[in-house]
Structure 1
Amino acid sequence: MKRDLDKATIVIKSLLNKCEKSLQKLTNGTSQHTLLINRIEALKIALTLIEKEILNKTTNS
């Protein structure tokens, strides 16, 4: 389970990085820009939750 969470962390960090780079190419106020901002926030939340779960698994082992 922890290994799966570690893999998910790597994938989400990569996707987050790609989204942040793409955001620079979009015009403020467009629907694409707003959608990407929302996706970035969702990815950050997901990453935080996964990292908390990894920490819980580490301290409980």
Structure 2
Amino acid sequence: MKFDVSELVEAKRQIDSTLHKLKQTVKTFEAKENSNRYKSQITLAKRRIQAFEISVSLIEREMNEAGKKS
């Protein structure tokens, strides 16, 4: 499936925003007094961060490829 560069830019922008929020969430949970209580939420957020970082990397690669073809 091919995507327009503007679609890739917008997808990256949305993912970057979500990544920022997830990283803040992890900080908040880890700073809580009884952070072990939130271990599953922290693990889930960290896994999502990793998945979104992979997505951003792939989007950037696709954008670079599109730029080379232009």
**What TM-score results when the alignment is normalised by the length of structure 1?**
0.93
Q: Superposition RMSD on alpha carbons, in Å? A: 1.2
CA distance in 2, matches of 1:31, 1:21: 16
Matched residues, percent identical?
33
Where in structure 2 are the equivalents of 1:1-61 lying within 5 Å? 1-26=4-29, 27=35, 30-61=39-70
Query: Could you report, residue by residue, the CA deviation over 1:9-52 in whole angstroms, capped at 9, with x for unpaired residues?
Result: 10011100010011011125710000000000000000000000
Give unpaired runs (5+ residues) of structure 1: none
Is there any run of 5+ residues in structure 2 with no aligned partner, and where? 30-34
Taking the aligned partners of 1:15 and 1:7, their CA distance within structure 2 comes to 12
Q: TM-score, with normalisation over the residues of structure 2?
A: 0.82
Number of aligned residues: 61
